[in-house]
Amino acid sequence: MHQNSLNGLTIKTALFLGFGLTFGLWLFAGYHFTKRMADVGQEAAAINVRYMHAQELLSSVRSQVLLASVYVRDALLDPNRAVGASYLQQVQDTYRGVDDALLQYVPVLDSVAERERVGRLRREIDEFRQTMVDVLTSDSTRWPADARSLLQRHIVPKREAVMRVSEEVQALNRASFVQQQADIAEVYRVMQRRVWQQLGIALGASLGIALLAIVYAGRLENRLQRQRATEAQNARDLQRLSAQLINAQEEERRSIARELHDEVGQVLTAIKVELAVAQRTIASRGGSVNVLEDAQAIADGAIHTVRDLSHLLHPAMLDDLGLPAAIDSYLRGFRKRHGIRVDLLQEQMEARLAPQIEAAGYRIVQEALTNVAKHAKATNCRVHVQRLAHTVLIAIEDDGTGFDVSETESAGTRKGLGLISMRERVSQLQGTMRIESAPGKGTRVTVELPARSRSVAYEAEEVIHG
């Protein structure tokens, strides 16, 4: 029992550790993959935001630069020379918007090339602004004549330079963004490979743990099967030993009953005869005829006692006349001894049964009625014996105090020992036994035994002993 407990604890611990390690591996792999994917996702989202914001700011810068060049062109072509200051103010306001946009600009990847191009863009914008300021602060009387020349020599080249640098920055941002997306895709591929590797390792470890658990469980199952087989063999051996003990006990009872009846009974009968002869002799010589009456009464009592003991041990009627007659004879004596009314009902019991079936049926009735007399406090009892198609039904029912059937399962109580003896006999013959009882509601014991006939049993014994 102690070894079984240790084996059970070991398999539980092994399974717990195995599933724990498996769960830990899968949890670690899942956490690592999730965290890495979350970090990559956050980084990609941040780059996307910076890229969109940078492109919007560059587009705004280009728009502002184009707007400023439009203001300069309008100023040069406007015939009203008094509005030159207002155009200059509009250009200054436009460039303040450009400055604000450049101040908000955040490099997408913050690379060296990007920083250089952004610096170059700032310089080109500053030069362009200074050129436009110089043009707008020059002699306005010469603007109509020099407008085309000023635009083509000063404004347009600077504007184109600003546009070109702005496009270079945007192109660089786009290239950086595309490269970043490719890097993220590569990170995803690398992570996917790592995740599959980790999942493969976890799966392999899980399979290994499962295989070890299966092997260990298989070994334990084989051990348990061997133990069950051993226990089954022990149970069969015990049942066979019990059957042999019951048979030996029955034979011993039969032998003792025969010895009591033949030897002790004959001796007591001879003593009774000798006492009668002695009494007649005394009477013939003029003595008292009552001098040996007490001795004769004692001899008669001893003869009846021996006859009763012989009948209780093994009734000769069971061998000579069969189970119904033996039960009927036993019930007559039971009524006299205990003062309990017992009714016997027999159905289809004309044919004789195998000796072991008759002996078992008689002992079951005897044991059940002994329990009734000792424990039930009953006034009425009924015994029903019926021959069915393939079984013999024996039912013993009383109106006594009853009992809790579950309590009789524990060995140690006197009731329980009697019921255990009955169950042993029933189990030996592969019959069934059912007990129905409750406190204050009486008891009913129902037994079914195989109805093997005496001739079949004898033929089987002849085949066996051959």
Would you kindly state where each structural domain of the chain is located, as residue ranges?
Answer: 2-218, 323-465
Place of tokens 């999730």: 34
Residue type present at position 119: G
Condensed to tens digits (0 to 9), the pLDDT of residues 421-457 reads: 788 888 888 899 999 988 888 899 999 999 876 654 4
pLDDT for res 393: 93
Higher pLDDT, 343 or 287: 343
pLDDT for res 411: 45
What class has domain 323-465?
alpha beta
- pLDDT level of residue 410 (50, 70, 90 thresholds): low
| Residues near 269 by beta carbon (within 8 Å), at least 6 away in sequence | 303
Residue type present at position 427: S
Higher pLDDT, 78 or 406: 406
CATH number of 2-218: 1.20.120.1730
- pLDDT level of residue 14 (50, 70, 90 thresholds): low
First to last CA, the chain: 44
Which among 387, 392, 378, 393 is positioned nearest to 442, based on CA atoms?
Answer: 378
Token pair in block for residue 221: 């199952």
Cα separation, 78 vs 82, in Å, equals: 10
CB distance 257 to 249 below 8 Å: no
Buried b (16+ CB within 10 A) or exposed e, 340-364: bebebebeebeebbbbbbbbbbbbb
CB distance 165 to 131 below 8 Å: no
Residue type present at position 204: G
CB distance 129 to 102 below 8 Å: no
DSSP lists the bridge partners of residue 444 as 397, 436
CB distance 122 to 161 below 8 Å: no
